[in-house]
Amino acid sequence: MSGVESFIEFLHIPSLVLTDEMHIRSVNEAFCSQFQLARNDCLGQRFNDLENGLWDSPELHHLLEERLEDENAVHDCEIRQAIDQTGERILLISACRVGDGRHTLIMAQDITQQRQYEELLRERESRYRSLFETIDEGFCVFEVLFEGEKPIDYRFLETNPGFDKLTGLHGAVGKCIRELRPQHEEHWFQIYGQVAVTGKPLRFTQQAKHLGGRWYDVYAFRIGPAEQRQVAVLFDDITEKKKAQEILRESEERFRAVAELVPDLLWRSDPDGKSTWYNQRWMEYTGQTRVQAAGYGWIDVIHPDDRSRSLDNYERAVRTGQPLQQEHRIRRHDGVYRWFLVRAEPVRDVEGKILHWFGAATDVHEQRAAVESLEWRVEKRTRQVRRLAYRLTMAEHKERQRITRVLHDNLQQLLYGVEMRLRMVSQSLLATQDKMSGLLDETNRWVREAILTTRNLTTDLCPPALEKDELGDALRWLKRQMKELHGLEIDIDKQSCLSIQDNELRILLFHSVRELLFNVVKHAGVNRATVRLEEDEKYSIIHVIDDGCGFNAAEVTGGEEDVSGFGLFSIRERLRLIGGYVEIHSTPGYGTHIQIRAPRDRAVQGTR
C-alpha cells in the first residue's frame, strides 16, 4: 500500500485512501488544503465523520458502499451536499479499489465554484442569445474566405432573426454570400477582409444594391482567434432614414437656392436661439462674416436704441416658443441704419418639439418713413385743428365781448338817455297834451323793451359772472338763465366752487358746461340736470348729470362723425388741447353722466 500512498502525495488532485472499515489511512496535501483539514485530524478518522460534514451524505454512502462494490471503480460522479454554513457544495468523486481490494482510493474535487461559473456562463449566454434573437438589428458571424491575401467571399456561421428580416436572406447559415448574391459588391469583401486581418473594428454606412438596394449602418469586429478570420457584424437598415436625409438635403438645397434669391435677410437658429445660419444677403447687407454673426452676433448690427427691446422680445419668444414679430433698425455695411420688419417662427417636429427657429427681416424703411411722415402730418394737422378749435372758443368769446361792448357802451346808453328824455318830455306835456303824452308813453315802452332786449343780449353774450375767478358763480348764473330761457332746473350746490384763475380756461369750461346743458334741453327729454364741481390733485372736474333718455356713448366716443350735434367732439378736442379730457357714461334709457376734466396745471400745446 505504501506505493499508493506515496503516489497520492504527488497528485494535485485531493486524494485519500480508506481502509475497508472506511477509516482514513492516508491523505495527501491537496486534500487537506482544499478541504482545510489537518492531516493528523484526518488520519484514522472514519471518513464519514470528518469535521466539515461534507462527506456524510446518502449519495456518497451509496457510491462507496454499493456502486463501488459492483463496479470496482467509479469515475467523475457528481455528489451534491447541502452544508448549512456554506450552502450547497458539489464534489466530483472518482474512486477505485486498491491493495487487493481492501482499500479504497478516493479522488475528490470541490467543483462548486466551477459549476457556479458554468451556471453563470449559461445564464449569460442565454441572456445574450435572447438579446441576439430579439433585437431589431441584424447580427451575423461569418468566416471571411481569402484567395491568397485577397478576400473573395464569406460564409455565414450564425445569424439572428433580425438578419433575415433586414437582408431578406433566409437559411444563410453554412452558405457563402456569393451563393446567395453572386453580384454582391466588391467593397463588402474588402471591408470585412480588412477587419478579419487587422482585428480593427469598423463602423460604416454602405449600400447593398443586390440586397434590394438597402442602406446599412454596420459595425464589424473580429471574433475568435485571428487565424479563424471570423467577423461578427451588427447592422441596421437605415434605408428610410437615408431617404429622409436625402429628401431633407434636397429640400435644404432648394431652400438655400430660394433663400439666396429673396431680398430678405434670413437666418436660422437652434432651439436655444443661437443663430446657426444666415443667407448671403445678410452677409452682404451687414458686412458681417458668418463667424461674427453666429450665435448672438446679430445683436451687434442692431441700432443701439432698439437693441435691448429687440433682445428681450427675441429671448421671450425663444423661451415661450411663441412666434416673434417686431421692427428694429439694422446697420448696413456702410453704417447706415434701415428699418426692418422681423418675423421669426419656430419649426417643430411631429411631437411639437422645436427643431430650430427660422427668421426673416424685411426692409420696411421706405414704408415706415412714409407712415411716419403720414402720422406726423396727421398729428400736426390734429394739433392745428385743436389749436383752431381753442382759438375759435376764444374768438367767439372776444366777438361776444365786442358785440357786448357795442351794445352796452353805445346803443344801451343811447336808449337809456332817450328813455329818460322821453319820460321827462312826457311829464312836461302831461298837463296840456293828453294825446301827445299817450304817444310818448307808448314810445317810451318800446324804448324800454329795446333796452331790455339789448340788456339780455349783452348778458347772454358775455355773462358778467364769467369775469370772476370763481366758476361756480358763473354756473349759478347759468342755472338761472337756463331756467328762465329753457325751463331747465339745474341742481348745483350753493357752496359748490371751483376757482379758476386762468381766464381762457374758465371761459372754455363755462361754454362746455353750457353746451352740455343745451344737449340736455335738446336731447335728454328731461327738465332737470345736476352740475357738480370738484377737484383732485391733478384735475378740476365738472360733472353734468341727467336722468334722461341717454345715448350710446360708444358711438359718440368711438368715432368723430356726426357728433357735432352734441357738441361733444368740439368740447373733447378743445379740452384735449389743454391736456384735459371728457368722460362719457351713457346708456340708452339710463341717463347720462359726463365728466369734464381740465388739468389744474394746464399746459396748452402749441401756440395760443
Q: How many CB atoms lie within 10 A of CB 121?
A: 10
Give me the least distance between CB of 489 and other proteins, in Å please: 16
State which residue, 342 or 490, has the beta carbon closest to other proteins.
490
**Segments of 224-279 assigned E as strands:** 230-237, 265-269, 275-278
Give me the least distance between CB of 475 and other proteins, in Å please: 12
Distance CA 295, CA 285 (A): 18
Residues that bind other proteins (CB under 8 A): 408-409, 412-421, 423-424, 427-428, 448, 451-452, 455, 458-459, 463-465, 477, 480
Residue found by looking up cell 457544495 in the block:
89
State which residue, 376 or 416, has the beta carbon closest to other proteins.
416
Distance CA 50, CA 34 (A): 14
Give me the least distance between CB of 487 and other proteins, in Å please: 17
State which residue, 284 or 409, has the beta carbon closest to other proteins.
409
Give me the least distance between CB of 570 and other proteins, in Å please: 26
Which residues have a Cβ under 8 Å from the Cβ of 321 and sit 6 or more positions away?
346, 354
State which residue, 261 or 424, has the beta carbon closest to other proteins.
424
Q: Is the dihedral of CA 412, 413, 416, 417 positive or negative?
A: negative
State which residue, 75 or 405, has the beta carbon closest to other proteins.
405
Closest alpha carbon to 195 in 141, 236, 157: 141
State which residue, 190 or 427, has the beta carbon closest to other proteins.
427
Residue 52 · residue 37 · CB < 8 Å: yes
State which residue, 175 or 445, has the beta carbon closest to other proteins.
445
Give me the least distance between CB of 543 and other proteins, in Å please: 24
State which residue, 24 or 498, has the beta carbon closest to other proteins.
498
Give me the least distance between CB of 451 and other proteins, in Å please: 4
Give me the least distance between CB of 412 and other proteins, in Å please: 5
Which residues have a Cβ under 8 Å from the Cβ of 68 and sit 6 or more positions away?
74, 95, 96, 97, 104
Give me the least distance between CB of 444 and other proteins, in Å please: 9
Counting other chains too, the contacts that 283-290 makes at CB distance below 8 Å and 24 or more residues apart are 284/333, 285/330, 285/332, 285/333, 286/330, 286/331, 286/332, 286/333, 287/332, 287/333
Which residues have a Cβ under 8 Å from the Cβ of 469 and sit 6 or more positions away?
499, 500, 501, 506
Q: Is the dihedral of CA 173, 177, 181, 184 positive or negative?
A: positive
Q: Would you call 253 helix, strand, or coil by DSSP?
A: helix
